[in-house]
Amino acid sequence: MDPLLRDAIMKSPWAWALVVALGLAVGSFVNVLIWRLPREESILRPRSRCPGCGSCLRWYHNIPAISWLMLRGRCAFCRAPIRWTYPAVEVICAGLFVAFFARYGPTVSTLAFWYLAAILIAVFFIDWEFQIIPNELTYTALVVGLGTSFISPHITWVQSLTGAAIGFGGFLGLAYLGRWLFKKESMGGGDIKLAAAMGAFLGTWKILLVFILSAAIGLAISLVVMAFSASLRKHRIIPFGPSLALAAIVAGFWGQEIIRFYLAHFVGQ
């Protein structure tokens, strides 16, 4: 892209407003994925409805974030509470869209990371509640990650393919190691497939960074749960998918800087 055109786009308030609106809209669709995929429902039909009374929502009930505030977090028909996660997902998605647009500008890489961010948000909330990562998310993400690498300015198809292979092989190896050490399954197949998909977007070095970051984040989440929630500590398995999702976001946004810092201060390169 011509540098002057790029600068004009990055300085335009309309461009940023469009990014925010697009992020909110995509976040609204991510909420559909979060609700319907683990329940094996179609993501296309029927129209959005209240899970309490089953009433179909009107268009003005589906304005991202705004409708939830206007309805004060309750269904317009039966007044049943609407989960706070709905506006949270939409706002988080919009925030990540803005962050990646600021990081990569108007490029194919931004589109790729927008897609990845949407998938990872869905993975975070689905895996946290249901302890599953739907194949529909991981398989399509793997295809999109490999496909966009052919036209992305920030990753080559070789790096993408290698990253996918390292993600799959590395986490598969960890799964077998965990089973051997603890005599039980320590990592699900969904985590392994998610790692492969993330590797396709992130490439060789950043997926290796995800290995380290996800372990640290997973440990931090476990410690927080153990410290503040006795019921979760006793009765609930803490899924690893949310840790992978958070690690991939960090690697996608700050990965290059983290790797350079490590090489400069610990390897001497």
H-type helices in 37-184, by residue range?
66-70, 85-104, 108-130, 135-148, 157-182
| Tally of CB atoms within 10 A around 219 | 11
The tens digit of pLDDT for each residue in 164-216 reads: 999 999 989 888 887 777 666 667 789 999 999 999 999 999 999 999 999 99
Local structure of residue 39 (DSSP, 8 states) = G
Band the pLDDT of 79: cuts 50, 70, 90.
Answer: confident
SS3 state of residue 236: coil
**81 forms bridges with which residues in the sheet?**
74
Q: What distance in Å separates the CA atoms of residue 137 and residue 151, rounded to the nearest whole number?
A: 22
Among residues 249, 258, 164, 244, the alpha carbon closest in space to that of 203 is found at 164
The tens digit of pLDDT for each residue in 123-163 reads: 999 999 999 999 999 999 999 999 999 999 889 999 999 99
